[in-house]
Chains A and B, each alone.
Chain A
């Protein structure tokens, strides 16, 4: 079983390789010694929305989509050191920055840190700032803490039209099993270096059922085999459980091994024919003359006798 944490971690890693490359370039092009210059008003600005467990949760989803590729999950040291992205969960960061300052920083951007000014609504931006500050024990969050529900996922696949059906249920405190309605389900395809998300915005209906039509253009292995993973997007609320199924819906991969044909880079057994002929004819030709001359030397004695 792969838990949700691992899925996101692997996802971070793939993304990170790409972003590192891009932003190493960006950092070089900007001044390395730039300093955050946060105005006083930002420090004391009062959020227009309330920080509740629900809004922190909203912020978390946005943060995971937009920020972890560089910063990693706050407090875990997963930040991309190559471009000097800050781990936003450390005490030293949290103590020095109010929620208003966090908002200002990612709203404005600096150097390799892009500006997110026009990316989100004002409200969403505050949600992100709340999430970042949620790693500060002194930051007040009102409302009720979200409890993780006791859920169960069932997955079935239909080869005829390449659809996957997921049925999600919730078991309440009394042992009653109910449909988990309106829960976001993510579908992934397993790849060597992590899990590749293939679905967007799929939610369970009132009966707890989500159906996903699998795309046609996903490459599989040589036989087209693919591993599909489904899990709740909001793992804090619904749990980290996932379901896995193997199907042969992928495009069969045709990989011609370049080492198996005669080529300059091949092994000695696979030397190109033209090279073999050239080498042998030149070498044998020269040595034939050498042997001829050597043989003739032995005949000097009898010459003219």
Chain B
């Protein structure tokens, strides 16, 4: 990690362990934050009970717009979850060192959002019990079945990829968390899997991490490609596109990248980890974001310029609606404010410092959320056969408070998972950080034992 050390002098194992485990023990502002999230979740649960009782009629979804805020949030969640694969797997496998302090953060984000993505699908169902029909009568020909398969697979692999690098940290936790509640210590005991720092154990874990990291790459690509096929395998205007797979995957990296930058900022300030997540890391993430966003911009240009040049009869009203109609404001805000402008800004070194990075990342992630909205809803408002002889409300869509509440519950739920993980485990891997500081595994074992006596 020598390249990453600009202003920080060598740390001793002692400081590393105490710095990284301190936030787990006590941390100012934790209770109000948890209360805030719980409040939003309770509100969402209340809204969901109303929806369960009265059916999907309480949403703004009708015969034409049958995929609304829920499904667009679902894509957003899956997109955010994909970052775990990019950072810990792809960058890790090609040997990029600066990701060490942020790889676990990326994995936590992946877990939180992937788990709630599955739940959002359930929220979108008026009769959630019918999810069983997918397993009883699902057709293998249907992308929905592939989607259910791949989402669950991704969650399981993400859990593995979160757990495996955690195991060598557990001895440190067992040692420093003696004063913590019993249940916490039970969790640590359970997750240590008998790890005692032996070289063979390190070798085995490293091998398993490697296998899992390789495995998650195709599965992550599959999860978002399949999500895009839910749309692209129809003939509908705006979805009937051959580049939807890569368009979604690259868009996902942008979304997840922004989420990681925000999380980096919050953890480095709130957990006082500025010595570990440094300006250097923000600079690196900024550069990575520029690359990801340029690729995504390239796909965006393809996705709109080519159909816009041809203006096929059926696509014309849809494209006009986006470019200069009802959705124009949202469309251009997303494309310029959420993508083009951030690229330009992040080209400047000053803009890649923590605070400007945070502001840009927030803009990108809001843009990313509404980008999914723009992919989902306008198309449904432009069916191939004209909308006629239906109530006025069928030809418009704006989510109801119920839908917003339930969606916000999902966001709060994902943040809650991340918070809980961050309160149980160090957000930065102890053993990898120590290793990069030049501390050997023997020294680590000794440290654990010495303090144990």
Interface residues of A (CB under 8 A from B): 264-268, 271-272, 275-276, 279, 283, 286-287, 289-290, 292-294, 296-305
| Stretch binding the partner chain, chosen from B138-146, B368-376, B393-401 | B138-146
A271 and B140 within 8 A (CB): yes
Question: Of A266, A268, A272, A279, which contacts B146 at CB under 8 A?
Answer: A279
A132 CB → nearest B CB, Å: 34
B219 and A268 within 8 A (CB): no
Can you report 7 residue pairs joining A to B where beta carbons are below 8 Å apart?
A: A265-B141, A268-B137, A268-B139, A271-B140, A297-B164, A298-B193, A304-B200
Given the interface contacts A283-B149, A290-B153, A297-B193, does A275 sit within 8 Å of B200 by beta carbon?
Answer: no
Given A283-B153, A300-B167: 4 more A-B contacts, CB < 8 Å: A271-B140, A279-B146, A296-B208, A305-B198
* Complex: chain A residue closest to B167, CB-CB: A300
Q: How far is the CA of A293 from the CA of B212 in the complex (A)?
A: 8
* Complex: chain A residue closest to B193, CB-CB: A300
A188 CB → nearest B CB, Å: 34
Set of chain A residues within 8 Å of B194, measured between Cβ atoms? 300-302
CB interface residues, B 197-218, toward A, < 8 Å? 198-201, 203-205, 208, 211-212, 215
* Complex: chain A residue closest to B137, CB-CB: A268
Question: Of A279, A293, A298, which contacts B211 at CB under 8 A?
Answer: A293
Set of chain A residues within 8 Å of B212, measured between Cβ atoms? 293
Give the number of residue pairs across the A-B interface with Cβ within 8 Å: 71
B111 CB → nearest A CB, Å: 15
Set of chain A residues within 8 Å of B146, measured between Cβ atoms? 279
Q: How far is the CA of A206 from the CA of B294 in the complex (A)?
A: 91
B140 and A303 within 8 A (CB): no
Name the 7 nearest CB pairs between A and B, nearest first: A301-B194, A304-B200, A304-B198, A303-B200, A271-B140, A268-B139, A300-B193
Q: How far is the CA of A150 from the CA of B149 in the complex (A)?
A: 75
B219 and A286 within 8 A (CB): yes
A271 and B201 within 8 A (CB): no
Q: How far is the CA of A265 from the CA of B140 in the complex (A)?
A: 10
Set of chain A residues within 8 Å of B219, measured between Cβ atoms? 286
* Complex: chain B residue closest to A289, CB-CB: B215
B204 and A296 within 8 A (CB): yes
Given the interface contacts A264-B141, A266-B141, does A299 sit within 8 Å of B211 by beta carbon?
Answer: no
B160 and A267 within 8 A (CB): no
* Complex: chain A residue closest to B156, CB-CB: A290
At the interface, yes or no: B195 with Cβ under 8 Å from chain A?
yes
Interface residues of B (CB under 8 A from A): 137-141, 146, 149, 153, 156-157, 160, 163-164, 167, 193-195, 198-201, 203-205, 208, 211-212, 215, 219
Given the interface contacts A290-B157, A304-B198, does A297 sit within 8 Å of B141 by beta carbon?
Answer: no
* Complex: chain B residue closest to A283, CB-CB: B149
Question: Of B137, B140, B215, which contacts A286 at CB under 8 A?
Answer: B215
A119 CB → nearest B CB, Å: 35
B160 and A290 within 8 A (CB): yes
* Complex: chain A residue closest to B153, CB-CB: A286
Q: How far is the CA of A290 from the CA of B219 in the complex (A)?
A: 12
Set of chain B residues within 8 Å of A272, measured between Cβ atoms? 141
Q: How far is the CA of A181 from the CA of B60 in the complex (A)?
A: 71
Q: How far is the CA of A296 from the CA of B208 in the complex (A)?
A: 8
Q: How far is the CA of A266 from the CA of B142 in the complex (A)?
A: 10
The winner among A287, A289, A301, A303 for most chain B CB atoms within 10 A is A303
* Complex: chain B residue closest to A278, CB-CB: B140
B104 CB → nearest A CB, Å: 18
A296 CB → nearest B CB, Å: 5
A290 and B215 within 8 A (CB): yes
Q: How far is the CA of A84 from the CA of B43 in the complex (A)?
A: 56
B208 and A293 within 8 A (CB): yes
* Complex: chain A residue closest to B205, CB-CB: A300
Set of chain B residues within 8 Å of A298, measured between Cβ atoms? 193
* Complex: chain A residue closest to B138, CB-CB: A268
B215 and A275 within 8 A (CB): no
Q: How far is the CA of A241 from the CA of B115 in the complex (A)?
A: 73
Q: How far is the CA of A83 from the CA of B259 in the complex (A)?
A: 58
B201 and A300 within 8 A (CB): yes
Q: How far is the CA of A266 from the CA of B200 in the complex (A)?
A: 52
A276 and B140 within 8 A (CB): yes
Set of chain B residues within 8 Å of A276, measured between Cβ atoms? 140
Q: How far is the CA of A290 from the CA of B156 in the complex (A)?
A: 8
Set of chain A residues within 8 Å of B199, measured between Cβ atoms? 304
Q: How far is the CA of A302 from the CA of B163 in the complex (A)?
A: 18
* Complex: chain A residue closest to B154, CB-CB: A286
Given the interface contacts A286-B153, A289-B211, A304-B200, does A275 sit within 8 Å of B141 by beta carbon?
Answer: yes
Set of chain B residues within 8 Å of A286, measured between Cβ atoms? 153, 157, 215, 219
B215 and A300 within 8 A (CB): no
* Complex: chain A residue closest to B222, CB-CB: A282
* Complex: chain A residue closest to B199, CB-CB: A304
Q: How far is the CA of A289 from the CA of B194 in the complex (A)?
A: 22
Q: How far is the CA of A283 from the CA of B150 in the complex (A)?
A: 8
Set of chain B residues within 8 Å of A304, measured between Cβ atoms? 198-201
B89 CB → nearest A CB, Å: 14
* Complex: chain A residue closest to B215, CB-CB: A289
Set of chain B residues within 8 Å of A289, measured between Cβ atoms? 211, 215
A271 and B215 within 8 A (CB): no
A287 and B153 within 8 A (CB): yes
Set of chain B residues within 8 Å of A279, measured between Cβ atoms? 140, 146, 149
Set of chain A residues within 8 Å of B211, measured between Cβ atoms? 289, 292-293
Given the interface contacts A264-B141, A275-B141, does A303 sit within 8 Å of B204 by beta carbon?
Answer: yes
Q: How far is the CA of A294 from the CA of B211 in the complex (A)?
A: 11
Q: How far is the CA of A301 from the CA of B198 in the complex (A)?
A: 10
Set of chain A residues within 8 Å of B163, measured between Cβ atoms? 297
Q: How far is the CA of A216 from the CA of B125 in the complex (A)?
A: 56
Question: Of A267, A271, A293, A303, which contacts B198 at CB under 8 A?
Answer: A303
Set of chain B residues within 8 Å of A287, measured between Cβ atoms? 153
Set of chain B residues within 8 Å of A290, measured between Cβ atoms? 153, 156-157, 160, 215
